[in-house]
Amino acid sequence: MTKIAMKTPVVEMDGDEMTRVLWVWVKDKLILPYVDLKVEYYDLGLKHRDDTDDAVTMQAAEANKRLGVAVKCATITPNEERVKEYSLKKQWKSPNGTIRAALDGTVFRKPILVPNITPSVISWKKPIIVGRHAYGDVYKNAEIAVPGPGKGELVFTGTDGKEHRVLIQEFKGPGILQGIHNTERSIRSFAKSCFTYALAEKVDMWFATKDTISKIYDQTFKLLFEDEFKGYAARFHAAGIEYFYTLIDDVVARIVKGEGGMLWACKNYDGDVMSDMVASAFGSLAMMTSVLVSPDGVFEYEAAHGTVQKHYYKHLKGEKTSSNSMALIFAWTGALRKRGELDGLPELVAFADRLEAASLKTIADGVMTGDLARLASPPAKQVVGSEAFIDAIAARLRG
């Protein structure tokens, strides 16, 4: 059998723990037998990030910008325990944060639906795609632990030397203070990425903030979205989709009562929280695809979940694990499909479709990992381990 040829390499960003183990099986058993895979490989495993003083993360992000399409494994964001566990030089920043900032991208998360897993919200019939702004707000904040009485102020000094100053609070005793920011450029990029994605997927787009309370910060998001939408309104109309703005609490109430099928654009924190809610209500974090899209059309496909640390420790002890590789598989198919579209390789696009279909069929046939078996109706026919699940998909792919 001749393998499917590629033109441009995909940027491959390897990761940590259980997902690093699954990564190899996914490549070896599901992709390499069919595709003459071209990759530019970057090892974002924590050890190598530490060895390179995290330079490898920035190199991977630069490669992503240069080549256009990347696929990323889940990676450890080190905390104090990890610093000890891996004897790190320092508590390196989240690679996802570094890559998001480099690409100025928006993260879109879309659940993978299968007929035998019913969403916990019974009205949900179609995927709810969460588009998360990936820059600023509380993720790039400055904080002060206020020790005692005093004045908390917000100060901006322009390059012209002009000062803007507002009082936040007169403290009578100890407290806390936080400063956050965003930029007009990033908010406009966020809006453009979302409008572009909604048009590509032909779904309505909803956006919400708390502009009634935050009359400058959140209101700016609302106004910049309105302004950017002018450039998309005609195309939205032609596609029969709409842009709907409301308040964040109102949108939450509507989402829970609706049937889904929209792109829900969320500010950074809202997106962090709501994407996990949507994912768990649709079944499992492992049934969620995630793609970072920059306004100039650079794509990074990843899994929405972490490195599945607990399963990895079991794996190291030689115990059987049942980790679900669906999101990792869909990260690869997303990247290969996009590469195929950009390079005019219909065979590669068709392969991505076939691998997704074989994966979905495996679960629909009742063969699944433990996380899904807990939710399946009718009940699973076969609850399989991490590697056996990938083997079951491989068997269906061979067809």
The answer to the question of residue 286 lying near ligand NAP (CB under 6 A) is: yes
Is 272 one of the binding residues for Mg ion (CB under 5 A)?
yes
- Give the phi and the psi of residue 35 in degrees, each rounded to 5: -120, 135
Cβ distance to ligand NAP smaller for residue 248 or 292: 292
Per-residue CA distances from 252 to 197, 247, 278, 366 (Å): 21, 9, 11, 33
* Contact status: 308 vs ligand NAP (CB under 6 A): yes
**211 near Mg ion (CB under 5 A):** no
Q: Check residue 97 for interaction with ligand NAP (CB under 6 A).
A: no
The answer to whether 302 contacts Mg ion (rule: CB under 5 A) is no
3-state SS of the chain?
CCCECCCCCEEEEECCHHHHHHHHHHHHHHHCCCECCCEEEEECCHHHHHHCCCHHHHHHHHHHHHHCEEEECCCCCCCHHHHHHCCCCCCCCCHHHHHHHHHCCEEEEEECCCCCECCCCCCCCCCCEEEEECCCHHHHCEEEEECCCEEEEEEEECCCCCEEEEEEEEECCCEEEEECCCCHHHHHHHHHHHHHHHHHHCCEEEEEECCCCCCCHHHHHHHHHHHHHCCCHHHHHHHCCCEEEEEHHHHHHHHHHCCCCEEEEECHHHHHHHHHHHHHHHCCHHHEEEEEECCCCCEEEEECCCCCHHHHHHHHCCCCCCCCCHHHHHHHHHHHHHHHHHHCCHHHHHHHHHHHHHHHHHHHCCEECHHHHCCECCCCCEECCHHHHHHHHHHHHHC
The distance of closest approach from Cβ of residue 98 to ligand NAP in the complex, given in angstroms and rounded to an integer, is 11
- Select from 112-120, 293-301, 306-314, 334-342 the region that touches ligand NAP (CB under 6 A): 306-314
Name the one range near Mg ion by CB under 5 A: 225-233, 269-277, 350-358, 362-370.
269-277
Q: Closest distance between Mg ion and the C-beta of residue 7, in Å?
A: 35
309 binds ligand NAP (CB under 6 A): yes
The answer to whether the beta carbons of residues 268 and 135 sit under 8 Å apart is yes
| Residue 309 interface partner, choices ligand NAP, Mg ion, none, CB cut-off 5-8 Å depending on type | ligand NAP
Residue 50 in contact with ligand NAP, rule: CB under 6 A: no
Stretch that binds ligand NAP, among 29-37, 75-83, 130-138, 205-213 (CB under 6 A): 75-83
Given ligand NAP, Mg ion, none, residue 272, with its beta carbon under 5 to 8 Å by kind, binds: Mg ion
323 binds ligand NAP, rule: CB under 6 A: yes
Phi, psi for 144 (deg, rounded to 5): -130, 130
Rule CB under 6 A: say whether 306 interacts with ligand NAP. yes
Distance CA 121, CA 183 (A): 36
Residue 96 contacts ligand NAP per CB under 6 A = yes
Residue nearest to Mg ion (CB): 272
Residue number, 182 or 369, with CB nearest to ligand NAP: 369
Contact between 57 and ligand NAP by CB under 6 A: the answer reads no
Q: How far is the CB of 254 from ligand NAP (least distance, A)?
A: 28
Q: Which stretch binds ligand NAP (CB under 6 A): 73-81, 191-199, 214-222, 354-362?
A: 73-81
Q: Which is nearer to ligand NAP, 95 or 136 (CB)?
A: 95
Residue 43 binding partner per list Mg ion, ligand NAP, none, with a CB distance cut-off of 5 to 8 Å that depends on partner kind: none
Using the rule CB under 6 A, is 285 a contact of ligand NAP? yes
Give the nearest distance from C-beta 96 to ligand NAP in angstroms.
Answer: 5
75 lies in the binding site for ligand NAP (CB under 6 A): yes
In the complex, the residues that contact ligand NAP under the rule CB under 6 A are 74-77, 96, 285-286, 302, 305-310, 323-324, 369, 371
In the complex, the residues that contact Mg ion under the rule CB under 5 A are 272
